[in-house]
Structure 1
Amino acid sequence: MHTIGKFRQSSSFIVGLFFSTLLMVGVFFVLYFVVMAGENALLKESKDAINSEITLLQKTFEHVGFEALEDSIREKTKDPENAYFYALKPEVSSLLIGNVPNWPEVFSEPQKGEFVFFDIAHELLDSNTKSIRIGSEHYDIMAIIRTLPNGSELLVGRNIDDIEIALWVAGTFGWLMILILFLVSALSIALGYYVVIRFNRIAESTDRIIASGNLSERLPVESSWDDLSKLSIVLNKMLDELEEMLNSIKSVSDNIAHDLRTPLARLRQDIEAFAQPEKRELLLGEVDNILSIFSGLLRIADIESEKQKSAFEVRDIGVIANDVVEMYTPVAEEKSIQVDSNIAEAQVYSDRDLLFQCFGNLIHNAIKFTPHKGKITVSLTQDGNKTVFSICDTGIGVSDENKERVTSRFFRVDKSRASSGNGLGLAMVAAVVKLHEAELVLSDNEMSDSGLCCQITFLQ
């Protein structure tokens, strides 16, 4: 069966996985640059501003003095436009100068040149400015501390609430993109799985139609909006045309066989009145051969039209197989052919006359192509819901390339056509097997150097 065995081996899954992986890598790169690189860029600007401000205050101390530094800090903290936080802690006093209410605990052991982060509660400041973050009760401060030559400590910081909210928005957006990516990937995989399932159904139906030759079966159409259903509709239209063409061809051949049988029967009657016995018998033999061909064609057409199921019932086909073996054993003995049978009881929904003719054709062919002192084995076994009828011979066998063709009408293994027969025996067998919804398999006889095994499997 030409279906996709595993979803992970399908092109839909591979292509979907490739693009999902590509998109995922792209999103992670974007997220990294937005969160990591963006954070560094945003904080760098604030760090540079803080460094410039604290350097300016240090120079004020160096050139003007400590009191001028105190005055400068007091003036800056009074400016409503000022965005900095200041704290000056003299070495000999615990009193702070600036707008930071308490010396942050993180600075109990100052680390020169390193920025640290702390927060200040809103109620500890005189400013009416609140954090731009919804629900926040404090300012987030990034600051640096430097020790002055007189032992005092100088802190300059800046509110980074705006940076925090920007980073939060960027991070949230990034995670949202990842979530969307996973949803898209899951949807792509689900869609790919749906496509594979639909393709497998179409492939299974197509294989079944090809294997059975039943052109009346159609591909499933599950909707009218998707492309696969449109493909099934187009293929079903093609099957309609093929079925109509084949039916017309079969109708022509069946009509020819039916119409010619009557004048041939009249010709036979005229030949019977022929004066010379030798020529009469020769002509009668040829006419009988032609009549048997037309009768075989009409019989196959009748079976293929499925008009024979009125006689179907559950019966023991072991009785039919025994009757066939009993009938053909004398014929086999004329060629010193040994016929062994191992036939069990098996209840199968079937037509007795059709199976008798089917089994008879198989054993007749086996006798015809098995040489003197050969052997034919007939068996009927039942295993669970399977019933298997097989005939194996030690004859000339059939090549692998011909095994698929021997059930065609008029096909002859003997290209010289020196042997008797019209090439319709196995075609009729195939028609009966198909009517019984069974399976016919031709294989080499593994128990002999040559020969053929014909196996029919009936499903309960």
Structure 2
Amino acid sequence: MGQDAYVMIATQEAIIASFAWSMLIALVLAIAAGIFASRRFLSKIDAINVTSSAIMQGRLRERIPIEGTSDEMDQLSANLNRLFDSNESLLESLKQVTTNIAHDLRSPLSRLKQGLETSIQAGYSKKAYEKAIGSAIHEADRLLRLSSGLLRIAQVESGSRRKNFKRVQLSQVLERVGEAYRAVAEDQGKGFATSIEPDIQVVGDQDLLVQMFANLVENSIHHTPAHTRISLKLSADKSGILAEVCDSGPGIPAEERKKVFQRFYRLDASRTTSGNGLGLSLVAAVASLHGIEIVLDDNHPGLRTTMKIPAIGRS
């Protein structure tokens, strides 16, 4: 019995010792893991700080390294990188817009100044004065249209017009646009046809939707030669609402199609025609406000502008 008790006590002591060593090893491993995790966490935080500081110093292309572990820190880094990408894109757009505004303002302001300076010269006849004043008024009107266009785009992009959203009979909107521009197209020797399915409704700002489709149709009329065929279409099915403005003109090169929605961007072929390069920018702003997807495609020949519009049903 004494020997059995001794064996039992020895076994208990061995188990306790083994448990103690296991706890000690686990504690050491936990501390080591904690130190490793904290160092990795601090290293990641340091990488975020370094990248943020670099971007604030003007190195906009710097990004936080992604380790590929897909953990929370990697996800945070990826989200911050997307934010940096967005900010870089916005700053580049702002820089381009500022440059374009300065360029577009310089020419009419120079002509306005030159005309006024010439008009005050001695010996100018009444007819010459009237011509100079008329030219100055024309340039002032152009500047006003430019500023009004920019303000309208900014207003739409701010989202403030969303408060005016209500049910709109889109079929009637396109009928009105078609009626307004049919005579304009025919006067220029161009064919104009409509195919508009009735009773299609959307939720939106009616005035802005009219402006969007009017700009697209006017763009097709303005930048195509005589005998061009232009069409305005609207249809709906289970997949949604589809609107199209098509023409058989020269079209837009594939590499230029995304650029034409930028403010002041004009194709080389259109630089000799009137306009300020804001019409399609307003179209893009209105489409974005209404959740409309715009796609520019080749119409073989010409340009096909397709708009996929969120549906709410029919009346």
Asked whether the 8 Å contact 2:246–2:302 carries over to 1, the reply is yes
1:235 matched to 2:81? The reply is: yes
Q: Which has the higher contact order (CA 8 A, sep 6+)?
A: 2
Asked whether the 8 Å contact 1:293–1:422 carries over to 2, the reply is yes
Matches within 5 A, 1:129-278: 226-235=72-81, 238=84, 242=88, 245=91, 276-278=129-131
Tell me the amino acid that sits aligned with residue 248 of structure 2: T
What residue in structure 1 maps to residue 39 of structure 2? none
Q: 141, 146, 153: which one pairs with 1:288?
A: 141
Partners of 1:413 and 1:251 in 2: CA distance: 16
1:298 matched to 2:298? The reply is: no
For the residue of structure 2 that corresponds to 1:391, the secondary structure is: strand
Asked whether the 8 Å contact 2:170–2:202 carries over to 1, the reply is yes
Partners of 2:74 and 2:272 in 1: CA distance: 52
Q: CA RMSD in A?
A: 3.5
Structure 1 residues 385, 333: CA separation in 2 closer, same or farther (over 3 Å shift)? same
Q: Could you give the per-residue CA deviations for residues 365-422 of structure 1, whole angstroms, max 9, x where no partner exists? A: 1111222122111100011241111111111111111111111111111357211111
Asked whether the 8 Å contact 1:385–1:459 carries over to 2, the reply is no
What residue in structure 2 maps to residue 311 of structure 1? 164
Partners of 2:282 and 2:80 in 1: CA distance: 33
For the residue of structure 1 that corresponds to 2:241, the secondary structure is: strand
Asked whether the 8 Å contact 1:392–1:453 carries over to 2, the reply is yes
What residue in structure 2 maps to residue 343 of structure 1? 196
What fraction of aligned residue pairs are identical, expressed as a percent?
Answer: 32
Q: Could you give the per-residue CA deviations for residues 260-316 of structure 1, whole angstroms, max 9, x where no partner exists? A: 9xx9xxx9xx99x99723222222222212221111111111111111111111221
Partners of 2:270 and 2:161 in 1: CA distance: 35
> 1:442 Cα shift?
0.5
Q: Structure 2 length as normaliser, TM-score? A: 0.62
Matches within 5 A, 1:393-408: 393-408=247-262
Asked whether the 8 Å contact 1:320–1:355 carries over to 2, the reply is yes
Q: Structure 1 length as normaliser, TM-score? A: 0.44
Q: Could you give the per-residue CA deviations for residues 204-250 of structure 1, whole angstroms, max 9, x where no partner exists? A: xxxxxxxxxxxxxxxxxxxx963432323432552685488579869
Gaps of 5+ in 1: 1-223
Which has more helix, going by share of residues? 2
Tell me the amino acid that sits aligned with residue 77 of structure 2: L
Tell me the amino acid that sits aligned with residue 249 of structure 2: G
Structure 1 residues 247, 409: CA separation in 2 closer, same or farther (over 3 Å shift)? closer
Structure 1 residues 437, 278: CA separation in 2 closer, same or farther (over 3 Å shift)? same
* Higher alpha-carbon Rg: 1
What residue in structure 2 maps to residue 194 of structure 1? none
Tell me the amino acid that sits aligned with residue 155 of structure 2: D
What residue in structure 2 maps to residue 361 of structure 1? 215
Partners of 1:396 and 1:382 in 2: CA distance: 29
Q: Size of the alignment, in residue pairs?
A: 227
Partners of 1:248 and 1:411 in 2: CA distance: 14
Structure 1 residues 317, 232: CA separation in 2 closer, same or farther (over 3 Å shift)? same
Partners of 1:230 and 1:443 in 2: CA distance: 38
1:372 matched to 2:226? The reply is: yes
What residue in structure 1 maps to residue 263 of structure 2? 409
